[in-house]
Every structure is written in C-alpha cells, then in structure tokens.
Amino acid sequence: LDKAGTSWLVQFVHTVCKERTMLRFIAFLALFLAVTARSNPRVSHIAYRDWVNRWQNFDSSFFQNANKDSADLTGWKPAAFNFNCTVEPSPSPPTSVHALRPSDFAVVAAFGDSIMAGNGVLSDIITDVAFQNRHHSAYGGGAGDIASGVRTMPNVLKLFNTDLTGYSTDESSAGDPEAGMNVAVPGCTAHCMLDQATDLVNQMIDSADIDIDNDWKVVNILIGGNDLCRSCNDQDYYSAARYVEEIQNSIDHLFENSPRTLVNVVPMFDITPLPEMSDGIMCDTLHDMFCGCVTDDATRPGLKPLQEAYVRGLHDMVNSDRYETRDDFTVVIQTGLEDATPPRLPSGEVDRSFWSPDCFHPGTKAHYVIGIQLWNTMLQPVGQKQTLVNWVEPGQDPISCPTAERPYVYTRRNSS
C-alpha cells in the first residue's frame, strides 16, 4: 500500500461510509495495513509488536464517546468569561474597508486544507482525525460560543454581531449546509485555492442569508502544510513562486467577484519540528505517509527555508498594492503563525495536549489558542503584529478589544 493508494483509500472510506462506527473500523484496518505493509526500516518486529499491544483492547469501548464535549477531550474546562468590549457598529454604513468596526462584519468565510476543515479538533482516538470538525475550527468554526469555551475567531465576531453568518455549525464536508462558508478541503495545497475561491463566491451568491454586493465579509485563508510536506517530491511544483501565484489567483477571483471584503492571509508555520510530535509507531507511520519530506533526514533541512520563502512571497504580494485600488477590498497578512514553535512542557518536551492523536493536526486547545490569536492580530497595526503563538491554556489568553481611539480592524492603509 503506497502513499497514493493509502490517500485514495482514506478519501474513499470517508466518502462512502456514513456511519461513524463503520468509518472508524475501516480506518483502523487501513492504518493497520499501512503500518504492517509500509516499507520502513523503523517498523521493526519489536515496534510492530508494541503497536499491536497498544491496540489489543480494540473493542466496543473504542467507539464510545464519539461526541464528547471538547473540554472533556483535553482535561480542561472553560474559564470564566467577561466580555467588556464596546460593540456598537459604525454610526453609518461604512463604505471603506479601512474604516470597519468588528460589528460591521456580516459574513465570515474560510478556505484552506485540513487545518481549516478542523480535522482532528475533537479527536480523542486516531481514527477520528478523519472527521472534519470544522465547527470548532479556529478560523471558521461557530459551534457554541465564547462563554461556553469554544474560542474561535468567528465566535469572537459573534459577540459583536449576533447576526453574523458563514461560520460552520457542525461536523461537515465542504458544501454541506453545516459547513457554511468554510470551503476548506483536507489534503489541499495552494493549487486548490482558486477552485475554493470559486466555490466560495458561488455559495455566497446562492445563499439567501448573504448579500454579496452589500454585506461586509472577512475571508480567512491558511494553506501551505501539504505543499511543504510534498515539496521534496517536486521542487518546481511546490516552489515559493508557484505557491504565491496560486494564492494570488484565488484572491484575484475574490477581488473581481466579492466586493466589500477583507481577506486575512495567515502564512503557514514551520513544520520541521513535526517529528518531535510523535509518540510512537502509529504517528511515525502517519508522518512518513503524509509528510515524508519532514521525516527524511536528507530533505528536512530544506523545509524551513522554503517556509520562509512562502512567507516572504506573501508579504511581497500584499505590499505590491495589487489589492489597494479600491476602497471596498483589501488583504492583510496576519502574522501570528509565521515564527510559531511547538508548545513545550517545563521539561522541554513538546506538549502533545495541544495536538490531535495523529501527532500531526492541531487539537482542540491549539485551535482555540490560534483562533483568539487571529482575532487579536486583527487589532494590531500592520508592522507591529505578533509572529509567535503564546501557548497558554485556552481561557488564559485575553481577547483584545477595539478602543475609542482605534475602533477599526487594522489594514495597511489605516495602520500608518
């Protein structure tokens, strides 16, 4: 079972299996085949035996608690929450994207890959990472509310505008009603972005809840993990130039077809620490399957420079003023993940409680931390935005408020 075959099998299973129990069982078999059949010198007899021992109690308890509250999955409970921000909208409907208050946004949308789709957010067993918990996704999820502990960027916006629409409301795939305007597709690279932008525009046009010409919209984009993971296989195809070109093409489509839009582009973080996330043979095998460029000692050193080139290219694209020719559209680089490093315990080891069971996707705690971080960076001037993640327990990271002196979301133009 090679990489292509495994990828096809996972997608096929997710498409045809509607019952969670059956999907979990078949996903387990797929992972079993991958571990036992994959040609990898690290998969020794002893490692294989240890892995089987970890799964020897695979019984009905494996399938229980599928829909546990997110707080139960990670051992923490929502902290008390007091919201003291001023929520008044603009005195008159704004005509400039550079004079938007949070209450002025009517629509939140998102596109990207499995991180944006929420794979792994609510997973407490490895096979559940196949499910798209986009309703808890940092940049597109709108399940519950901030007071109940679901600390996503859309849920902060809901505090300012209770009529906000576009956020995901339940586990779903792109295009499902529950997905809202989160059109992210797991496994995608930058080369998918134009298709997703097209899908987003079409869905907004078709939505009875959205006036695409008059509603103010914020669109969040995060892409690049899969590009980096595959880059050693085709350096030209996954070059920084092509990466930026594909994202530019997608934003061009929004520029031409979605007036009254602010686009948040979140550059991808460095993936070279990924092997540190692993806690055993299962994660090792998944990393080899889906991100072999980072597990290969020969190719890993090239990934950090490529990630940095991706970031520089996105900044150059935005700083070119390509999207500054109209007052109703702009693009802002939200820098919060650019220099992100893994959360660590006092011992120096990676804190895996922020990650999902596949040691690859961000888990509940990580999504809630970076969701609030995106919001906070929107209220930081361009050129003064944070570039590191403050890995604290969700609820310990304060939510920023606009001020009377600076009531607007920051753009390049209003930051000077």
pTM of the predicted protein model: 0.84
- Decide if 361 is catalytic: yes
Which is catalytic among the residues 135, 191, 253, 361?
Answer: 361
Closest of 32, 286, 17, 279 to residue 131, by C-alpha: 17
- Decide if 227 is catalytic: yes
Listed by start position, the domains of the chain span 1-60, 79-415
Residue type, 14: H
pLDDT at 42: 41
Tens digits of per-residue pLDDT, 106-131? Answer: 999 999 999 999 999 999 998 899 99
Topology at the third CATH level for domain 79-415: Rossmann fold (3.40.50)
Q: How confident is the model at residue 280 (pLDDT cuts 50, 70, 90)?
A: confident
Least confident interval from 15-24, 38-47, 170-179, 182-191: 38-47
Which is catalytic among the residues 227, 284, 358, 397?
Answer: 227
* pLDDT at 336 exceeding the cut of 60: yes
* pLDDT at 55 exceeding the cut of 50: no
pLDDT at 86: 83
Which is catalytic among the residues 70, 114, 123, 250?
Answer: 114
Mean pLDDT confidence for 206-223: 98
* Mean pLDDT, rounded, of the chain: 86
